Amino acid sequence: MKNWIFLCVAIVSEVIATSALKQSDGFTKLGPSVVVIIGYGIAFYLLALTLRSIPMGVSYAIWSGLGVALITLVGWFVYDQKLDFAALVGIGLIISGVIVMNVFSKTLGH
């Protein structure tokens, strides 16, 4: 169970780092730049711990799928970056794929 917590915290840390990357303005602003470096450091460290027990393909699919969905929400609500219908459908398909893997795959070993 702790590996799933590591993965969730890694995803959130990556989303925070990516949000700060936008705010860093090409690493010209110190505060957001530090958040980027620390956030990605935490994210990759926790992802590495996750890979001890969750298969790499599954971990990365969940990491990237949920990361895309969450950073899209941050872009929408924080940076007012609206998406068209096709983009929303695509993100919905990514989330659906993560759900299918978690519910039906025997690879995960819940």
How confident is the model over 2-49, as pLDDT tens digits?
Answer: 999 999 999 999 999 999 999 999 999 999 999 999 999 999 999 999
- The C-alpha atoms of residue 19 and residue 79 are separated, in whole angstroms, by 9
Q: At what angle do helices 2-23 and 56-78 cross, to 10 degrees?
A: 40
- How many CB atoms lie under 10 A from the CB of residue 73? 12
Contact status, residue 83 vs residue 76, Cβ threshold 8 Å? yes
- In this prediction, what percent of the chain has a pLDDT beyond 70? 97
Tell me the CA distances in angstroms from 23 to 30, 70, 90, one per residue in order: 10, 17, 26
pTM beyond 0.75: the answer is yes
pLDDT classification of 98: cutoffs 50, 70, 90: confident
- The C-alpha atoms of residue 107 and residue 87 are separated, in whole angstroms, by 29
